[in-house]
Amino acid sequence: MDVTESKAYTPSSFQRQTRLLKNELSKLGISISTDETSRISFLSRRKYDRYDHFSPGESFDARLLKWLSNFDRDERQTALEIVKCLKFVSVYEIKELAIQTFETIKKTILSEQNNPTEYWYNYLRLRNIELEDGLSKSVFVASVDDANFSFFRRYASRYNCFEKDNFVEYYKRDKESLDELPEHNRIFLIDQLAGSGTTALRNENGKWEGKIPRFQEIWEDHIKECSIYYCPYLLSSVAERNLKERLDEYRKEKKLKIEIVPTCKIPISPCLANKSGTDIDENKPVSKLCRKYYDRFKEDIHIKKAGPAYYGYGRAGLTLILQPNCPNNSIYMLWHDYNDWYPLFPRVTHHRVV
């Protein structure tokens, strides 16, 4: 934090901002404690204000007040519960997830080695030799264009066992260029988020669709006898359940060796989850709010692939915000802007809307 920024973040200015926010929320009919307001103000300055799709000079607090105005006065207290459950992942934290993903991959490779030795020194020496050999015969492939893959590659490159083609920046490549791949027996498919599992793998009218089937089709001549690992930085509990069921069937049908190796697991948001946290509780006030305002939302062809998005794409039930973009697996009321709805975190879609 530079000197200019530190002057702006004095205790007195923070307290003043907290008081102002609490007063403005009160005008909207919301009762909130000073401690809760302070928490929102703190996260606003430290995280939310850095969201990539805010206009220059725009603050989270200002957007929050306008977003709450979407709702009827007696519903705004319930809407604020969504805000209290936000999970904001900054760019710095995404980089940390990239680091931990590589460290998890190292553990995966080492767990497959089995060379016990009597002496600790020999164990460490053999362990490092086997690790570097395992890494050199691994190919790391980005399955999405926003997984901070360049940072992942730079972090991994502290090991000197890699060639340039051990890292593939996107899985959709022409088949001829894949002939340049080094000798390999493992492929790690890197993803940023699996929010429902639908984008990764789904069965549509008896045909497998998604990133994993497309990857298999393109790479079919280069994955024979390979172990494949799907490695999302973030895996929701809904995606974990869906992918486990779908992969069991997919493996049998395609005779493919593929496992999920997530870095961090994200549960259904507490404002939506049932007592066990395993599904949406549709009797919760936030759930009812999601259904009430769904007629303001526009389903495009991509949303329809996973059914109604009352609780986010694929019924993921998330209140997750990534600094580069809000995932559509999060509650739609947070990000959509159809029919004059004012979004809290405006989203830029990856697909052309139809």
pLDDT tens digits, one per residue of 117-154: 554 555 566 778 889 999 999 999 999 887 799 999 99
pLDDT at 2 > cutoff 60? no
85-107: average pLDDT: 97
**Residues 324-335, mean pLDDT to the nearest whole number:** 97
Residue 22, SS3 per DSSP: helix
Q: What angle do CA 157, 159, 160 make, to 5 degrees?
A: 95
The pLDDT score that the predictor gives to residue 146 is: 76
CA 52, CA 56: separation in Å to the nearest integer? 10
pLDDT of residue 253: 93
Q: Is the pLDDT of residue 7 over 70?
A: no
Q: Which helix (H) or strand (E) holds 322?
A: strand 320-322
Q: Is the pLDDT of residue 9 over 90?
A: no
The answer on pLDDT for 322 being more than 80 is: yes
To the nearest whole percent, how much of the chain has pLDDT over 90?
81
Helices (H), the chain: 3-8, 11-27, 34-46, 60-68, 76-84, 91-111, 120-136, 149-156, 211-219, 237-254, 285-292, 301-304, 332-335
- For residue 190, list its beta bridge partners: 142, 231
pLDDT at 307: 87
Residue 47: CB atoms within 10 Å? 17
pLDDT value at residue 122:
56
* Nearest Cα residue to 44 out of 31, 70, 25, 71: 25
Three-class SS state of 112: coil
* pTM for the model: 0.90
pLDDT of 6 reads 43
Amino acid at 102: F
**C-alpha angle 200-204-205 in degrees, rounded to nearest 5:** 160
Average pLDDT across the chain, whole number: 91
Strands 186-194 and 202-204 turn out to be unpaired
